[in-house]
Amino acid sequence: MGKPTGFLDYNRETAKVLPPKVRIANFNEFRTPLSKEKQRLQGARCMACGVPFCQSGMMLGGMASGCPLHNLVPETNDLVYTGNWKQAYLRLSKTHSFPEFTSRVCPALCEAACTCNLNGEPVATKENERAIIETAYKEGWVQPQKPNVRTGKTIAVIGSGPSGLAAAQQLNRRGHSVTVYERSDRPGGLLRYGIPNMKLEKSVIDRRIRLMEEEGVKFVLNTNVGKDIKAEELLKQYDRVVLACGASNPRDIKVPGREAKGIYFAVDFLGMVTKTLLDSNFDKVPYELAKGKNVLVIGGGDTGNDCVGTSVRLGAKSVTQLEMMPKPPVERAANNPWPQWPRVLKTDYGQEEAIAVFGHDPRIYQTTVTEFIADKNGNVCKAKIVDLKAQKDEKTGRMMMVPVEGSEKVIPADLVLIAAGFLGSQKYVTDAFHVAVNGKTNVDTKPDDYATSVPRVFTAGDMHRGQSLVVWAIREGREAAKAVDESLMGYTNL
Ligand SMILES: Cc1cc2nc3c(=O)[nH]c(=O)nc-3n(C[C@H](O)[C@H](O)[C@H](O)COP(=O)(O)OP(=O)(O)OC[C@H]3O[C@@H](n4cnc5c(N)ncnc54)[C@H](O)[C@@H]3O)c2cc1C
Ligand code: SF4
């Protein structure tokens, strides 16, 4: 259980981060992990609670609390403390497919739910996880796990994001022959072309893909299923199909002037930047996208923050980030108690960088855009924005954000990045497979099930759950693999 008095003896300590003005010089990761000895003391802080909320992964107050993968957190924390790194890796691998991804990008639902977080600082479980997996890679313990026997069953996984990769890894290790189809030029989904390189270096994805290939998973890239290859063809060729295409349908801002040049969806912009970096082996930085421009990011969430950090690196003249909702409180509100996910103000890496460069927080709350204004060449140059206030809708009784009359103003905006969330799956794929979708256009299944309305077709990840997190995508991929395996073999041992 770590050290019985560890949480009293040692303070929480996490990786050293480079100062914002230093790290914006490139797109590299900027966290230097603790030494192994210091990381051990972080393991010592775990109390092996009788009810360890850290690994519960349950829904509380409409938000997830604790690890959705049910990682064996108290066990691995103890193994970190006692320096049993190999055993820690083996225990972590029981529940997790890709700790190297989540230990970099997860918001750490485990830490938010940690008992130490009730009136102190949580155990540094996320960084313990990173130390475990990176030690395992360094020591050569992460080896391809090839199945001893092949079942003769074939599976096509559509989409190579974390859900598709997790499903493919599990099913291949079980002995089925798995082919992953990906429309993009590189595998990884939003791990590759959504999350920026400074948060998750793409060599980390390549390292895992190489292992999966050695294990026997085949990757077919640049192939858009439903366009380049027919659904019927895949259903003829494979025993099962797993749809893991993500919630790739971005929410638009439909206001006058939207057709102006220089307005991008966040994912398209972030993907363009990463692709240019990768194609040039990091020799070419696409400064022309944002250098010297007034950047307007619409959306106050994590994707918006990634746009802020990327624009700062590209040399933007100014960065403004609009958020419709009110500024969250600094401390938990009374109706948001532990171990619920804390709905509190978070200043993320991109915002920290904008503050360092421009001297102020880029976020403006309770504000939206009502019009984009273009110059004579059709390029966006300004945006009309308006303040919002909360008001009860007479018909539904729900609180709505409505414009405050007379609060309109015009701000400069030469590059606009829309980071307003996603609206579910893309119609051409669901139509191609004739699978039923729900009101949010996510692929429909029974609760806690992964079989779609079409026999032999399964689904996982954001395409099923709606826009979510990497950790949920991995869980969905692993659960869908179980469902597929059971449908093929009559039972599952996954
Ligand atoms: C900018 C951004 C930053 C994010 N940052 C974080 C973060 O820091 N932490 C976190 O936990 N979550 C983050 N998320 C959310 C997280 O990335 C997603 O929840 C997760 O990637 C979903 O995984 P998935 O496998 O379901 O889908 P995706 O990752 O979206 O992958 C789907 C894949 O399917 C492919 N595809 C789609 N249709 C077809 C087709 N017809 N044929 C072939 N291939 C197809 C797509 O090209 C894509 O590669 C972020 C999301 C965005 C947009
Ligand atoms: S809740 Fe925190 S202290 Fe308790 S077992 Fe989990 S990580 Fe350890």
pLDDT tens string 89-109: 999 999 999 999 999 999 999
Identify the band that residue 234 occupies on the pLDDT scale cut at 50, 70 and 90: very high
pLDDT of residue 256: 98
The pLDDT tens digits of the residues spanning 241-273 come to 999 999 989 999 999 999 999 999 999 999 999
For ligand 1, say whether the CB of 158 is within 6 Å of any of its atoms.
Answer: yes
Helix (H) or strand (E) holding 171: helix 162-173
Distance 215 CA to ligand 2 centre (A): 34
Instruction: Say how far apart CA 110 and CA 99 lie, in whole Å.
Output: 13
The region of weakest confidence among 55-59, 383-387, 416-420 is 55-59
Residue 3 above 90 pLDDT? no
Mean pLDDT along residues 361-383: 98
Mean pLDDT along residues 367-387: 98
Residue 86's alpha-carbon distances to 80, 131, 132, 206, 345, in angstroms, are 9, 11, 8, 23, 37
The pLDDT tens digits of the residues spanning 425-478 come to 999 999 999 999 999 999 999 999 999 999 999 999 999 999 999 999 999 999
For ligand 2, say whether the CB of 114 is within 6 Å of any of its atoms.
Answer: yes
Mean pLDDT along residues 320-345: 95
pLDDT of residue 333: 94
The pLDDT tens digits of the residues spanning 339-367 come to 999 999 999 999 999 999 999 999 999 99
Residue 415 above 70 pLDDT? yes
Place of tokens 């030494």: 35
For ligand 1, say whether the CB of 267 is within 6 Å of any of its atoms.
Answer: yes
Residue 285's alpha-carbon distances to 18, 130, 271, 276, 280, in angstroms, are 20, 28, 13, 7, 9
Residue 1 above 70 pLDDT? no
Instruction: Say how far apart CA 483 and CA 494 lie, in whole Å.
Output: 9
- Ligand nearest 194 Cα, by number? 1
Q: Pick the residue with more confidence: 264 or 2?
A: 264
- Ligand nearest 49 Cα, by number? 2
By alpha-carbon position, which residue is closest to atom 19 of ligand 1? Answer: 469
Q: Percentage of the chain surpassing pLDDT 90?
A: 96
pTM recorded for the entire structure: 0.97
Mean pLDDT along residues 202-229: 98
- Mean model confidence pLDDT for the chain: 97
